Chain A
Amino acid sequence: MSSEWDYFIRAQRGDELAWRVLIGQHQTRLTALALFITGSATAAEDVVQETFLRAISAKIKSYTGTVNGYLGTIAYRLALKEVKREKRNVGFDGLTLTDREYTQLDSLLLDERDHVVSEAINSLDEMHRAVLLLRFYGGCSYEEIAELLQIAIGTVKSRLFHAVKSCREILQEKGISR
C-alpha cells in the first residue's frame, strides 16, 4: 500500500491533519472536474462535498489503484448523476454544456489563461472531453478510465491523444502555448 493511501486511511480514522492534507491535495482538481461536467458552481460544490463524504465512510476492499483515481471516479459519477438529475441538455456521457452553464463556469475562472483552456476543453466532443477530464482532473489511470467508460484501453489512449492535440492547437492559436 502506498503512502498516499496511508494519508487516506488516517483521514478515514479521524486524523484531522491527514484529512486536511487530503482536501488540500484533491479539492481543487475535483472542483474543476465537477465544474466542467455540471457547469454549475453550486452543483460542483455539492459533488465535491459528497465525494469526500462517501470516500471517508467507504470500506475500501483493495488499495491497488490511486487515491486520485478513486476520488476522481466517485466525483465523475456523482457529477453525471447531478447532471441527469437537473435534466440539463446532456447525453449519458454527460459533458455537453449549454451556453448558460458555460457562462457560469467561465465566471469562476480567475485566470485569463484558464478561460482559454476551458474554451478549448469545451470545444471537444463528449467522448474526447470525458477522457481528457478523467485523465487530467479525475487523476484516473488508463485502466480506470477504460473501466469507467466501458471502452478499450487503446481507445482511451487514442481519444486522449486527439483531445490533447486539439487543445494544444487552440492554445497555440490563442498564443497561450509556444
Chain B
Amino acid sequence: MNHLSEDQVLEYVLEIIDNDSERELMAAHFRLCPDCGAKFENIKSDLDIIGGVKPYRRLMQMPNPKARQISLYAVIKVAALFIFGIFVGFATANWIDREPAVVTYAYLTLTPPSGSQAGCAVSDATEVSPVYYEEILKSQE
C-alpha cells in the first residue's frame, strides 16, 4: 500500500471510510508505516482536543429519580382514589333506602266492602310499612 495522505487518514479516523476491508488494510498499514502511523496518531490527538472542551460546571442537583417516581406515584394514587370515590358516590346513591311511600287514604280501604270478606285492601302498587299504617290510623281518629 502506498503512503496515505492526511485527508485519507482523516477520513479513516472520522469513520467516513466505512468499508471494513478497506479499513483493515489501512489499519495494517498504520502499524507497518511509521510516517502514516504518526499521521494517524496526530489526527487522533487533534480530534481528542477538538472534542475535549470541558467547561466549568457547577455541581447540579439532579432530581432524585426515585423521589420523583415516588411523588408522581403518590399523586397518581390520590387522583385515582378521588376519581374512584366520585364513582362510588354516584353508584351508591341509588342504594340508599327511600322513604317508604305513604299510601294515601284514597288508596287504602279500611272497611270491608259490603258483602265481602273483611279485610284491608291495599294497593298492589305500593307497600305500606306497619309504622306508617299505624300513623295513618291515628290521624284519622
Q: Which chain A residues have a beta carbon within 8 Å of chain B's beta carbons?
A: 11-16, 19, 23, 27-28, 31-32, 35-36, 41, 44-45, 48-49, 52-53, 56-57, 105, 108-111, 113-114, 117-118, 120-121, 132, 136-137, 142, 157, 160-161, 164-165, 167-168, 171, 176-178
Contacts and interface: CB of A to CB of B under 8 A. Distances in A.
Contacts of B11: 161
B34 interface: no
A19 B46 contact: no
A15 B101 CA distance: 64
Interface of B: 7, 10-11, 14-16, 42-43, 45-47, 49-58, 60, 62-66, 68-69
13 contacts: A11-B65, A13-B65, A16-B66, A19-B64, A19-B65, A23-B62, A52-B62, A117-B50, A117-B52, A136-B50, A157-B14, A168-B50, A178-B42
A23 B60 CA distance: 10
A108 B55 contact: yes
Contacts, number: 104
Contacts of B60: 27, 45, 48-49
A116 B66 CA distance: 41
A37 to B, nearest CB: 12
A12 B69 CA distance: 9
A108 B65 contact: no
B10 A161 contact: yes
Contacts of A44: 55
